[in-house]
Amino acid sequence: MSTLEAINLALNSVIDPELHKPLPELGMIESVEFDSGVVKLAVLLTISGCPMKEKLKSDITSTLLKINEISKVEVIFGVMNEEQRNNVKKIIRGGREKFIPFAQPESLTRVIGIASGKGGVGKSSVTVNLAVSAALRGLNVGILDADVYGHSIPRLMGILDKRPTAIDQTFIPVENFGVKVVSMEMFKPERSDPVAYRGPLLHRVLEQLLSDAYWGDLDLLLIDLPPGTGDIAISLGQLIPNSEIIVVTTPQIAAAEVAERAGRIAHQIKQPVIGVIENMSDSTCAKCGEKISIFGSGGGEETARRLSQLLGAEVPLLSKIPFNSILREGGDVGNPIVLTDENYKKCFDNILDKIIVRPKSLVGVRLNLNT
C-alpha cells in the first residue's frame, strides 16, 4: 500500500464531531499531497467560522501522524460552495427533502414527551437528568426543548449562549454530556427576548425544530413540553403519532387533579401514557435523619391511579424523586445532579430500567418500552 493510499484510508476514520460521519463521505477532503514526509491537506468546512475547526485539525493531525512515513501534517481550511453544502445536506438526510425523521415508519427512535399539568413541578430538571442518565448508559440521546415560552433546558444543560451550527436551513444541535439539545432560546437574538407566538405558528415552530435539525441516529428523544394542555402538546401527537408521554407531578394531592389533565389530553390524541414521576418528594433531614414532606404526600400515587382508571390500563408510578437543594444547585450551574450524586443517579437509572429494555446495544434496535 502506498503512503497516499494509507492517508486516504486513515482519513476515513476521522469523524466530523457535529455530523458524525467520515470527512471523505461528506466531501470535506478537497485534496491530499504528500512529499518527503509532509502531508498537505485541503479541508472544506461547511461554514466559515466553524466552531469545530481546531478539533478537526487536531483529529486529522493525530490520525495521520500514526503513519510511519509521515513526520508533519499541514491542514489548510477552505469553505464549501453552495453546491457542496447542498450535497452535505442530501447525505445527512439520506437523499430526502426536509422531513421529520422520528415520524417515519422505519424510525427506531423512541420519542417521549415529558408533560405536566402546571409549571414549577421540575419537569425540565427531570427531562435533563433522565437524558444524561441515558447517555451515561451509552444511548444516543436528544432533548428538544419545546417549552417555547419558558425554555430552561440550555441553562440546566450548561450550554447557555451556545448556538447551533447552521448549514443553510439545516442546523446541528448543540451537544453536552453526550446529549444533543435544541431549544427555542438558541435562536433568539437576545436571551431576554420574549417569545410571543400563537396558534398555528406554534405548530410550525415545533415542526421546524424537529425537521430542520440534523439529529443523527438517536435511540431516545425526550421532548420537554410546555406545562398544561396547549397547542404544543396537541401538535406533538400530530407530528409524531408514535410518541409517548410521561407525566411529572408533585406530592400535593391538589396537584394530581392538574396533572391528570396532561394525561387526559395525551389519551384524547391517542398517545400512550407510560408512567408518572413524582418530583419534590420526601427528603431526609441531614441533621436528624427525619423524613420531611415539604409538599405533602400521595400526589404521585393519586395521579397514577386517576390515569390508570381513565386509560383502562395500569399507568405506573415510575419514581419518587426526593426534594433536595443540591438538585436545584446543579441545575443553576448547568451540572445535572446525576453526574455528581450517586443516590440521584440510582433514582433516574431505576426509571430507565422500568421504561427501557436494553439487552445488549440499542444501535439499530427498537427500544421496547412497555406501555
Model confidence at 371: pLDDT above 60: no
- Give the residue, 239 or 289, on which the prediction is more confident: 239
Share of residues in the chain with pLDDT > 70 (%):
92
**Domain-located, residue 267:** yes
- Indicate whether 333 and 203 sit together in one domain: yes
Top-confidence range, 83-97, 165-179, 278-292: 165-179
- Give the residue, 311 or 291, on which the prediction is more confident: 311
- Indicate whether 206 and 342 sit together in one domain: yes
Binned at pLDDT 50, 70 and 90, residue 291 comes out as: confident
Model confidence at 365: pLDDT above 50: no
- Indicate whether 251 and 175 sit together in one domain: yes
Which of 74, 92, 110 lies at the terminal end of a domain, its last residue? 92
Binned at pLDDT 50, 70 and 90, residue 369 comes out as: low
Domain tally, the chain = 2
- Give the residue, 155 or 291, on which the prediction is more confident: 155
CA gyration radius, the chain: 23
**Domain-located, residue 143:** yes
Residue 88, domain CATH: 3.30.300.130
- Indicate whether 78 and 158 sit together in one domain: no
Give burial (CB, 10 Å; 0-12/13-18/19+) of 296: middle
Model confidence at 14: pLDDT above 70: yes
Model confidence at 366: pLDDT above 50: no
Model confidence at 128: pLDDT above 60: yes
Which of 92, 127, 153 lies at the terminal end of a domain, its last residue? 92
- Give whole-number Cα distances, 209 to 53, 95, 183, 228, 235, in Å: 25, 19, 8, 20, 12
**pLDDT one-digit tens code per residue, 219-250:** 999 999 988 877 888 888 889 988 999 999 99
Per-residue DSSP letters for 141-202?
A: EEEEE--SSS--HHHHTT-TT---EEETTEEEPEEETTEEEEEGGGGSSSTT------HHHH
Model confidence at 361: pLDDT above 50: no
**Domain-located, residue 187:** yes
**Domain-located, residue 292:** yes
Q: Residue 350's pLDDT is what?
A: 95
**Domain-located, residue 289:** yes
- Indicate whether 40 and 108 sit together in one domain: no
- For 164, the domain range is 101-355
- Indicate whether 119 and 188 sit together in one domain: yes
Binned at pLDDT 50, 70 and 90, residue 364 comes out as: very low
Q: Residue 173's pLDDT is what?
A: 92
Which pTM does this prediction carry?
Answer: 0.77
- Indicate whether 165 and 235 sit together in one domain: yes
Give burial (CB, 10 Å; 0-12/13-18/19+) of 337: buried
Model confidence at 208: pLDDT above 60: yes
Q: Residue 112's pLDDT is what?
A: 95
- Indicate whether 43 and 16 sit together in one domain: yes
**Domain-located, residue 190:** yes
- Indicate whether 82 and 115 sit together in one domain: no
- Indicate whether 24 and 130 sit together in one domain: no
**Domain-located, residue 25:** yes
Write out the three cell numbers for 371: 406501555
**Domain-located, residue 140:** yes
- Indicate whether 118 and 79 sit together in one domain: no
- Give the residue, 186 or 13, on which the prediction is more confident: 13
**pLDDT one-digit tens code per residue, 25-36:** 989 999 999 999
Residue 346, domain CATH: 3.40.50.300
Binned at pLDDT 50, 70 and 90, residue 193 comes out as: confident
Binned at pLDDT 50, 70 and 90, residue 161 comes out as: confident
Average pLDDT along the chain: 86
- Indicate whether 57 and 186 sit together in one domain: no
Which of 58, 92, 126 lies at the terminal end of a domain, its last residue? 92
